[in-house]
Structure 1
Amino acid sequence: MKRLLEFLGLLAVVQGVAGLVHEFTDWNWGVVQRLGLLDGYEVYASVALLVLGGALFAAAESRKSG
């Protein structure tokens, strides 16, 4: 379970960073800008993904190894 939480945390952080990079540099990658329901809220969604990733890493650290 710890590995799954770490993987999901890494995925959330990568997508959050991708969303912010897209907003500030116009690179077209990541999932945040592809969701039509988030139009106008891409920066907020990216920051939320970064926070979610941090929370998932913290949850993974609180679990026992194995």
Structure 2
Amino acid sequence: MTSTSNSPLAALSGLICFVLVVGGTSGLLHEWFGWIHFMGFVRFLVPGGYEVYSYVVMIVLGLAVGAAGDAVTRRGRG
């Protein structure tokens, strides 16, 4: 696997995007179907009683961070 950018910002935004999207999806699956948490540590970021909303916000925020990191990377190349 080759990276199109060697920027530490691109790597960090990619990591944050992955953690938020996968953690939020895992949390939603756990809340709706009772499956185990793949990334159980994200439950400490969620206030009690607002689990579903918080996991949806995590997914949206993760996608936004990923898009912003991609935009910064593209702007730096061109």
What TM-score does the superposition give when structure 1 sets the normalisation length? 0.82
Match for 2:48 among 32, 39, 44?
Answer: 39
CA RMSD of aligned residues (A): 2.1
SS at match of 1:40: coil
In structure 2, distance between residues paired with 1:7 and 1:25: 26
Aligned length: 65
Runs ≥4 residues deviating over 6 A: none
User: What percent identity do the matched residue pairs reach?
Assistant: 37
What is the identity, as a one-letter code, of the residue corresponding to 2:41? V
Kindly provide the CA deviation profile for residues 17-53 of structure 1, in whole angstroms up to 9, marking residues without a partner as x. 0110011111231334x43861110000000000111
